[in-house]
Amino acid sequence: MARERQVLLRGGTVVDSTGSRLADVLVKGEVVVAVEAPGQSSEAPPGALALDAEGCAVAPGLVDLHAHLREPGMEEAETIETGSRAAALGGYTAVVAMPNTQPAADCAAVIRQVLELAKSACCDVRPAGAITVGREGKVLAPMAEMAAMGVRVFTDDGTGVQSAALMRRALEYATALGAVIADHCEDASLAGNGCMNEGQVSSLLGLLGRPAVSEEVMVLRDIALARLTGGRLHLLHVTTADALQAVRLAKAAGVPVTAEVTPHHLALTEEALRGYETVYKVNPPLRTLRDVVALRGALSEGTVDAIATDHAPHPPEAKDTSICDAAPGVVGLETALSVCLTELQLPLGTVLALMSWSPAKIAGLHPAHGGPIVAGAPANLCVVDLAKEWVVRPEQMASRSRNTPFAGRRLKGKVRHTLLAGEPVVVNEEPQR
Amino acid sequence: MAERERHANSGAAFRGRAVVMDAGDVQRATWRIAHEVIEHNRGAEHLVLVGLQGGGVWFASALASVISSVTQAQVPVGTLDIAYYRDDIGMRPVLPVGATEIPVALDGAIVVLCDDVLFTGRSVRAALNALSDLGRPAAVQLAVMVDRGHRELPVRPDFVGKNLPTRRSEMVDVSPQGVVLGDVIAAVEPGTSGGALRPEVAK
Amino acid sequence: MTPRHLLSVADLGALGIDEVLRLTDSFVEVGARPIPKVPALRGKTVVSLFFEDSTRTRLSFEAAARRLSADVMTFAGSSSSLNKGESLRDTVLTIEAMGVDAFVVRHSCGGVPAQVAGWLGAVGDASVVNAGDGAHEHPTQALLDCYTISRERERRFGAKAGRPQVLSGLQVAIIGDIRHSRVARSNVIAFAALGASVTLVAPPTLLPPSVQGWPAEVSHDVDGALAKCDVAYLLRLQNERMTEQFLPSVREYTALYGLTAERARLLGPSTLVMHPGPVRRGIEIAAEVVDSPSSVITTQVANGVAVRMAVLYLLLGSGAPVGA
């Protein structure tokens, strides 16, 4: 019986929000029952599955605030099943699923459908709800009815809320729901149809660009509205130095705003597009070196609250076309942690804070996810081999789609095991279902 | 002609071994051929001399000079580059070495193709194809300073300065200054001797 | 190494551009013959893959291929016409499988020729010629422009230029919608490589977001630029620029930046007036200037076929080393 299942994570270093210590972790059923220094129980209990965690960090499972699982409606790119499997392989035990599905997740019926599909997923899939009906930006969606089903994050992601008046009302309305309004900050009239960052590189390549100001004007607007209304604002995929500066000042002034950045915006610049390779086309676009440096610098100082993947799978025909027509987006669930460990010179605890307990709090999932690893805590854990070197091979990924900007890159650090509510969903880098 | 360009493009150099004709010999041969042309064609009427780029151009000019002084008639001289008609395009670098300029219409003309060396006959074949695109001559005759044998196509010269048996691997350098028989030395450093070959006559 | 593709004028460098210009001379001579044809590319197949309408350029390339005795296939249509679910990549690979030696590609989006070259690189030897990709480049236009300038100056004024920098010391003013112009981008690269000084003249909204790194100066003083240039190169003004809010009106553009008859009086006696066509008379250039002796616009068109023959021969036949 599942309740009797026991798993022992042996030989690793437990790292959570309280610190790090060498310890073995014993899981029974869905909870952690013991966290003991090695040697105190060198024998695994009979019937327990012993998983080797030597040289590994045993951490709370990661929480992604921002992933496109494409179901319902775009299953050729990804399904909740394949997306959650990819998430588990990346060490994620919870994923907030974006509502730009077909139909959009803008009412209880679609939320219910997603929750139903999520029951058999390899991670905790929490649907976000749309802010407006059909994500059209005109009329508020029934947020309360969705909140009653557990939705705590509302966003029209894919596009930003263009109307300032409507954004104000959404922030006000959400204050009564304990929910957060997450915005994809991009002024459509300034961004136009650009396929990369507007600047020196786009001018040389003869490509239409999306200027940094198209993000910044909406970041500034939303912060002002959050200050006015007291509503909780979360800024999705912040990419520019100047947008970060606005966030910095807003936080200093006590505005209830949180901000996320993506691994690809931390690792890549607009230079990647010089060969017109569509795999690097993403919205918001890859920016300049100055922006990347500013983003990295902000990770340790509290301006950035979370690293989120913006996992955006696309089938090959959506990318095997001109860069103007190619669908924007990169997959990221399987590579996010490894990219961050390899590219950022940050202590493990900082990386985990940004990818586990901090996003868990924003999404209202803490301490079930991201909480300290102590007896009685839910067993949502990942075991990360910090020394493991591996090369990203798109054809071997679990996601249904192959559009990773890190193909062929050598990374250091890989998730070895993942436990979801005590169940080993990934063992020795292999998905169990 | 073609072989000089072929070797030049691959950076090889020519090393002369034996002087076969000196400047005086070349001049006398030119004089004799010019008279043969006049004799064969019963005068200079309708004649057009066409020198193949690059080695046949000086020869056509020189022949025209003599013919003109003997017959008191102005013989038109043209140049023809056969690069685009060659059969080895795609097998090795092929670029034009000079311009094609034919100053008169060729229909009904007696064209005397002039080249410095006749070897495999492929250049002449290409020249004949080029000429047929430029007009319909009444006749095409071939004048060469040196025939070195080794024909690969059924081409024969009408007027020859000197018949010179050679080995395939050898090379013949022809200019108004003389005819030198020698060898091709493959370049050690590629590209150092691209361009016109300078014959160095061995002592 | 013979270049395999011509995606950007920068691929050729000054030596390469000079090689193309020299070859063009021989093809101008071929074009003047009663039978303007040579067998140089006999047996080769060239396909024109035109996703953006341009009958003139496509016919120019096809004429060039036919004059080299190559076989020609045509795929012309808007990008939507290839949508039977087949991706651009699959379309290219399907055509390549029919046995094609060169693709001449035009598309409304920058980078497509480079992408096509990438997809072909894995499967065979086919070459790609960029016939104009979005606002990025139009290499053969730049080549025919360089050819026109150098040969016209020689013909009219006996100007003998050194090689390969055949435009050394010349001042070129490119006037108009630089921002959206692939011709401008290719010309800046080519003219600068051949030794010319380039000045871009445009209203601020029609300049690229950044000209950092471009081998050119920027000016808003049209009259000053016209007075001191050896070549006045006018670009076409498209109607969409007004609806897209780049300019208030055509009238304002013509008044400030158009080469009117009055402005044309500022031109020096040996200044050439050029335009990539098609010309909008009365908008970017006055009708009487188009027809004036300083205009070489029709010569540009005439040189187009010979230049394209030179490019096709260089990529597919010559096997020759070309400097970069």
Give the tokens for residue B152: 């690969």
Nearest CB partner across the interface for A320, out of C88, C137, C185: C88
Inspect the structure and tell me whether chains A and B have 3 or more CB pairs less than 8 Å apart. no
pLDDT recorded at residue C83: 56
Distances (CA, A) of C53 to A391, C76, C94: 44, 8, 22
- State pLDDT tens for residues B13-72: 889 999 999 999 999 999 999 999 999 999 999 999 999 998 999 999 999 999 999 999
> Stretch A209-231: mean pLDDT, rounded?
98
Nearest CB partner across the interface for C35, out of B92, B99, B133: B133
Does residue B147 contact residue B164 with C-beta atoms inside 8 Å? yes
Tell me whether domains C9-137+303-316 and C139-301 share a fold: yes
Active site residues of A: 310
**What is the homologous superfamily of the domain C139-301 according to CATH?**
Aspartate/ornithine carbamoyltransferase (3.40.50.1370)
Q: Which residue has the tokens 């959506």?
A: A318
Does residue A229 contact residue A255 with C-beta atoms inside 8 Å? no
* Axis crossing angle, helix B23-40 with helix B57-71, rounded to the nearest 10: 60
> Stretch B74-101: mean pLDDT, rounded?
94
- Three-class DSSP category at C36: coil
Q: How far is A277 from chain C (nearest CA, A)?
A: 7
Q: What is the full DSSP assignment across A184-211?
A: ----HHHHTT-SEE-SHHHHHHT--EE-
Q: How confident is the model at residue C3 (pLDDT cuts 50, 70, 90)?
A: confident
How much of chain C exceeds pLDDT 70, in percent?
96
Which of C87, C179, C186 best probes binding to A when mutated, by most A CB atoms within 10 angstroms? C87
Q: Which of residues 262-301 of A touch C (CB under 8 A)?
A: 275-278
Nearest CB partner across the interface for A204, out of C107, C134, C213: C213
Chain A residues touching C137 at Cβ < 8 A: 206
Alpha carbon distance C145, C139 (integer Å)? 10
Burial (0-12, 13-18, 19+ Cβ within 10 Å), B70: middle
Size of interface B-C (CB pairs under 8 A): 55
Q: How far is C209 from chain A (nearest CA, A)?
A: 6
pLDDT recorded at residue C79: 54
Question: Does CATH number 3.30.470.10 belong to domain A62-361?
Answer: no
Across the interface, whether the CB atoms of C38 and B81 are under 8 A apart is answered no
Q: What is the full DSSP assignment across C75-122?
A: EE--GGGG-SS--HHHHHHHHHTTT-SEEEEEESSTTHHHHHHHHHHT
Inspect the structure and tell me whether chains C and B have 3 or more CB pairs less than 8 Å apart. yes
Residues in chain B: 203
Residues in chain C: 324
DSSP H or E stretch at residue C73: strand C71-76
Please give the residue range of the domain that contains residue B118.
25-167
Predicted structure pTM score = 0.91
| Sign of torsion over alpha carbons C8, C10, C14, C16 | negative
Does residue A392 contact residue A406 with C-beta atoms inside 8 Å? yes
Residue of C nearest to A317 (CA): C87
* Axis crossing angle, helix C13-31 with helix C55-67, rounded to the nearest 10: 80
Beta bridge partners of B105: none
Chain A residues touching C135 at Cβ < 8 A: 206-208
- State pLDDT tens for residues A266-288: 999 999 999 999 999 999 999 99
ipTM: 0.93
- Per DSSP (E only), the strands in C164-318 are 171-175, 197-201, 217-219, 231-234, 272-274
Neighbours of C259 (CB within 10 A): 25
Alpha carbon distance A221, A27 (integer Å)? 47
Across the interface, whether the CB atoms of A317 and C118 are under 8 A apart is answered no
Across the interface, whether the CB atoms of C88 and A198 are under 8 A apart is answered no
Q: Is pLDDT of C112 > 60?
A: yes
Q: How confident is the model at residue B187 (pLDDT cuts 50, 70, 90)?
A: low
More confident of the two residues A310 and C164 = A310
Distance between first and last Cα of chain C: 9
Structural domain includes residue B151: yes
| Sign of torsion over alpha carbons A112, A114, A119, A124 | negative
List phi, psi (to 5°) of A417: -135, 150
pLDDT recorded at residue C240: 77
Q: Which residue has the tokens 């100007």?
A: C159
* DSSP 8-state assignment for residue C277: S
Chain C residues touching B96 at Cβ < 8 A: 23, 26
Alpha carbon distance A59, A370 (integer Å)? 8
Q: How far is B57 from chain C (nearest CA, A)?
A: 17
Q: Is pLDDT of C57 > 80?
A: yes
- Three-class DSSP category at A395: helix
Which of C115, C181, C187, C189 best probes binding to A when mutated, by most A CB atoms within 10 angstroms? C115
Structural domain includes residue B69: yes
Chain C residues touching A209 at Cβ < 8 A: 209
pLDDT recorded at residue B188: 58
Q: Is pLDDT of A146 > 80?
A: yes
Domain boundaries, chain A: 2-58+374-431, 62-361
- State pLDDT tens for residues C245-268: 899 999 999 999 999 999 999 999
Give the tokens for residue A371: 């909480």
Q: Which chains touch B (3 or more CB pairs under 8 A)?
A: C
Q: Is pLDDT of C324 > 50?
A: no
Q: Is pLDDT of B10 > 70?
A: no
Nearest CB partner across the interface for B84, out of C25, C40, C321: C40
Q: Is pLDDT of C239 > 90?
A: no
> Stretch A327-339: mean pLDDT, rounded?
98
DSSP H or E stretch at residue B66: helix B57-71
Q: Which residue has the tokens 């300029």?
A: B101
- State pLDDT tens for residues B105-141: 999 999 999 999 999 999 999 999 999 999 999 999 9
Give the tokens for residue B155: 């081409």
Chain C residues touching B95 at Cβ < 8 A: 23, 318, 320
Residue of C nearest to B11 (CA): C321
Across the interface, whether the CB atoms of C209 and A276 are under 8 A apart is answered no
Domain boundaries, chain C: 9-137+303-316, 139-301
Per the rule left: phi > 0, alpha: psi between -120 and 50, beta: everything else, A17 is: alpha
Across the interface, whether the CB atoms of C317 and B94 are under 8 A apart is answered yes
Q: What kind of architecture, by CATH, is found in domain C9-137+303-316?
A: 3-Layer(aba) Sandwich (3.40)
pLDDT recorded at residue A431: 97
Does residue A84 contact residue A398 with C-beta atoms inside 8 Å? no
Q: How confident is the model at residue C87 (pLDDT cuts 50, 70, 90)?
A: confident
Which of C29, C125, C151, C311 best probes binding to B when mutated, by most B CB atoms within 10 angstroms? C29
Q: What is the full DSSP assignment across A214-265?
A: HHHHHHHHHHHHHHHH---EEE-S---HHHHHHHHHHHHTT--EEEEE-HHH
Does residue A174 contact residue A181 with C-beta atoms inside 8 Å? yes
Q: How confident is the model at residue C241 (pLDDT cuts 50, 70, 90)?
A: confident
Q: Does C317 reach chain B within 8 Å, measured CB to CB?
A: yes
> Stretch C39-60: mean pLDDT, rounded?
93
Which of C90, C185, C210, C241 best probes binding to A when mutated, by most A CB atoms within 10 angstroms? C210
Nearest CB partner across the interface for C39, out of B85, B95, B100: B85
Q: Which residue has the tokens 């090393």?
A: B15
Structural domain includes residue B190: no
Does residue A99 contact residue A127 with C-beta atoms inside 8 Å? yes
Closest to A415 measured CA to CA, from A123, A22, A121: A123
Give the tokens for residue A253: 């002034």
Beta bridge partners of A8: A26, A50
Residue of A nearest to C132 (CA): A206
Closest to A322 measured CA to CA, from A201, A208, A188, A214: A208
Residue of B nearest to C315 (CA): B90
Q: Is pLDDT of C81 > 60?
A: no
Chain C residues touching A325 at Cβ < 8 A: 79, 88, 109
Q: How many CA atoms lie less than 13 Å away from C29 in the CB half-sphere? A: 20
Chain C residues touching A210 at Cβ < 8 A: none
Alpha carbon distance B97, A106 (integer Å)? 73
Q: What kind of architecture, by CATH, is found in domain A2-58+374-431?
A: Roll (2.30)
Q: Does A408 reach chain C within 8 Å, measured CB to CB?
A: no
Q: Which residue has the tokens 């709090």?
A: A361
Alpha carbon distance C311, C9 (integer Å)? 11
pLDDT recorded at residue B13: 84
> Stretch A286-297: mean pLDDT, rounded?
98
Burial (0-12, 13-18, 19+ Cβ within 10 Å), A363: buried
Alpha carbon distance B63, B143 (integer Å)? 10
Q: What is the full DSSP assignment across C128-153?
A: EEEEEETTTB-HHHHHHHHHHHHHHH
Structural domain includes residue B74: yes
Which residue intervals of A51-107 are DSSP H helices? Answer: 80-89
Region of poorest pLDDT, from A122-126, A383-387, C64-68, C275-279: C275-279
Burial (0-12, 13-18, 19+ Cβ within 10 Å), C303: buried
Q: How far is C310 from chain A (nearest CA, A)?
A: 26
Residues in chain A: 433
- Checking DSSP bridges between strand C45-50 and strand A13-16, what pairing results, if any? unpaired
Across the interface, whether the CB atoms of C33 and B95 are under 8 A apart is answered no
Q: How many CA atoms lie less than 13 Å away from A330 in the CB half-sphere? A: 28
- State pLDDT tens for residues A108-144: 999 999 999 999 999 999 999 999 999 999 999 999 9
Q: Which of residues 18-47 of C touch B (CB under 8 A)?
A: 23, 25-26, 29-30, 33-35, 37-41
Nearest CB partner across the interface for A276, out of C115, C208, C212: C115
Residue of C nearest to A192 (CA): C244
Neighbours of C122 (CB within 10 A): 7
Residues whose CB is less than 8 angstroms from the CB of residue A360 and which lie 6 or more positions away in sequence, other chains included: A60, A63, A94, A366, A367, A368, A369, A370, A371
Alpha carbon distance A183, A199 (integer Å)? 24
Across the interface, whether the CB atoms of B81 and C26 are under 8 A apart is answered yes
Give the tokens for residue B35: 């008279």
Closest to A332 measured CA to CA, from A91, A159, A154: A91
Give the tokens for residue C308: 């394209």
Q: Does A190 reach chain C within 8 Å, measured CB to CB?
A: no
Q: What is the full DSSP assignment across A334-387?
A: TTHHHHHHHH----HHHHHIIIIIHHHHHTT-TTTTT----TTSB--EEEEEEE
What CATH number has the domain bearing residue B57? 3.40.50.2020
Across the interface, whether the CB atoms of C40 and B129 are under 8 A apart is answered no
Alpha carbon distance B119, B163 (integer Å)? 11
